[in-house]
Structure 1
Amino acid sequence: MTDTLALSTHSAITPDGVRLHVESAGRGTPIVFVHEFGGDHRSWEPQMRFFARRYRCISFAARGYPPSDVPAEMERYSQATAADDIAAVMDALGLDKAHVVGLSMGGFATLHFGLRHAARALSLVIAGAGYGAEKEHEDYFRNVSLEVARQFERQGSETFARTYAIGASRVQFQNKDPRGWQEFATWLGQHDAVGAANTMRGVQARRPSIYDLQADIARMPVPSLVVVGDEDDHCLQPGIFLKRTIPACGLAVMPKTGHTLNLEEPAAFNALLAEFFAQVEAGRWEVRDARALPSQIMKTD
């Protein structure tokens, strides 16, 4: 019994031949965790430890993040590929369905997984997803993404991580938990510079705005939870948009919190997810009651 619960490592091979490093622990209903640009598979450790007590927990390193393969060609990185890589991980582990939890870049991949593979998602947790989505900031975000890619190549990951790790929505983590933030910054400095640059150019700079996907999102049937920090400014309005657009969606806003939600506030984040999973599995996370729609406010007849 102990061996089935212990951490195990696996390899998933994507349709285009990329090998992804996968780790799993625990038994039960599966949860797949999808990391952000600034993290990797290790970023989900507080969730792996908590949820492996009663779920089968899976984390993986995205393409471009060692020990996964790092394709040298930028065209092998895209938003669609990031979503399909989640399915490849599930295929490698023989999972028909899973709860899927993503942060930031991983949150976008999770949303697109729901759009492309809805039948395989028990639920979606879309956390910290919004950067570049706001139409008025599209060009700015794209240019910043390309500049970040250049700086990873020019300075190298270890040096540039010192700048990237103290962005406006990261300092909350640094202020609350200096040791946790330092671990995050150290791991960021270990990223492969080619993989980071290709990810920025191929995924981040080219992904479509969620506002352009409104019709598709409005038809997505998967129970969803959107989570944002209230000091993660570029995720607030996109979070509200997703809440209003996904049919069976809840929105949680974590106070005095930045972008690195699951590490900055692990206890609160885990509690949100635990309650969400319980309601989904009980069949109680439903489409919004028509009586609660905005058109019904102050209705008198």
Structure 2
Amino acid sequence: MPHIQTDDHVQLYYEATGQGAPIIWVHEFAGDHRSWEAQVRFFSRRYRCIAYAARGYPPSGVPASMDDYSQARAARDIGCVLDALRIERAHVVGLSMGGFAALHFGLMFPERALSLTIAGVGYGSEAEHADTFRRLSHQVADQFEALGSPGFAPIYAEGASRVQLQNKDPRGWAEFVEHLSQHDAAGAARTMRGVQARRPSLYTLQEALQGLDVPALIMTGDEDDHCLQPSLFLKRTLPRSGLLVLPKTGHTINLEEPDLFNRAVLDFLHSVEAGRWTARDPRATQEIMKVAADPRPRP
């Protein structure tokens, strides 16, 4: 099994497929490197795809100390994978926890990101829900430890923003549950407490985000309630961003709507590579329409 070693001596499992410009795929909390299979199959026809399992997710290492899990550490791990594979710059695609990591990687190492795809991002950022999010994060960690991954996976997979996958693709949802049930319960609990529960709100990063001059595609489902407003905030804050909202879609966008997800990301990458994913035209931000000095109709 191919592994790289991070700068703090954690082994990360990865899979590399295809040739071309590199794309690194960063998975969500309830996923792992296998979550990107539909994307790797599609994009590896013309790109070099690197999918890796985050720390805490076997076959990657599962550090025992909570000090080894944080939002900044998750972002640095992206760089460690790229370093080990001798990749200077890459397109970075992340979902949920992976989307946060991709965004923070862009903030920390903007010169290394060809582009950022930030999907399903926002949980815990809204001030009115922050305390509830942290409390639920610790409860989820407790449940992984109490029930184990096989016992808790079916419960977690029927969350409000995941039943959409169950309804659209029962077979795909069952595979999602099976993969989640194989996760290391201790690694999941430490990730939930160390990364999820402690990550900063997007709204506290506004000034830094306004200065992030990297092409960004923001994606969310219209039934992923706690990601909708944060996604709008990111669209209004990131200078070179676009926002795509998929209808009748929950949190696991790439699994629910793989064709739409793939095509949207592909179009985005092509626009970036053509130099056409530019900053918003300042005229588009004017609040009052311009009116001609002489409003009389012309012949």
TM-score with structure 2 setting the length:
0.97
Is the counterpart of residue 235 in structure 1 residue 258 in structure 2? Answer: no
Amino acid at match of 1:147: Q
1:103 equivalent to 2:95? Answer yes
Corresponding residue SS for 1:122: strand
Partner Cα separation in structure 1 for residue 95 and residue 120 of structure 2: 6
Q: Which residue of 1 aligns with 2:295?
A: none
Q: Which moved more, 1:10-19 or 1:190-199?
A: 10-19
Equivalent residue letter for 1:227: M
Partner of residue 22 from structure 2, selected from 30, 33, 36: 30
Assess if the C-alpha contact under 8 Å between 1:174 and 1:181 holds in 2: yes
The answer to whether residue 176 in structure 2 is matched with residue 184 in structure 1 is yes
- Whether the 8 Å contact between 1:11 and 1:92 is mirrored in structure 2 is no
* Alpha-carbon displacement from aligned partner over 1:25-55 (angstroms, at most 9, x marks no partner): 0000000000000000000000000000000
SS in 1 for 2:39: helix
Aligned pairs for 1:131-170 within 5 A: 131-170=123-162
Q: Distance in 1 between matches of 2:195 and 2:170?
A: 30
Distance of 2:127 and 2:206 partners within structure 1: 13
Matching of residues 215-294 of structure 1 within 5 Å: 215-293=207-285
**Which protein is bigger by CA-based radius of gyration?**
2
**Structure 2 residue 24 is matched with structure 1 residue 19:** no
1:243 is displaced (CA, Å) by: 0.3
Describe how 1:83-122 pairs up with structure 2 within 5 A: 83-122=75-114
Distance of 1:252 and 1:161 partners within structure 2: 29
Deviation for aligned residue 1:84: 0.3
TM (normalized to structure 1)? 0.96
Return the letter of the residue paired with 1:298: M
Q: Which amino acid counterpart does residue 21 of structure 1 have in structure 2?
A: Y
- Structure 1 residue 300: Cα displacement: 2.7
Paired AA for residue 224 in structure 1: A
Q: Which runs of 5+ in 1 are unaligned?
A: 1-8
Tell me by how many angstroms 1:296 deviates.
4.3
Which residues of structure 2 form unaligned runs of 5+?
293-299
In the alignment, which residue of structure 2 is the partner of 1:298?
289
Question: Superposed, which structure 2 residues align to 1:208-219 within 5 Å?
Answer: 208-219=200-211
CA contact (8 A) 1:26 1:52 kept: yes
Paired amino acid for 1:170: R
Deviation (angstroms), 1:237 = 0.1
Q: CA deviation at 1:10?
A: 2.8
Structure 1 residue runs of 4 or more that deviate by more than 2 Å after TM superposition: none
Distance 2:194 2:221 in 1: 26
Offset, 1:297: 3.8
Looking at structure 2, the residues matched to 78 and 27 of structure 1 have their Cα atoms a distance apart, in angstroms, of: 32
Do the aligned residues in 2 keep the contact of 1:107 with 1:129 (CA within 8 Å)? yes
Distance in 1, Cα, partners of 2:107 & 2:150 = 35
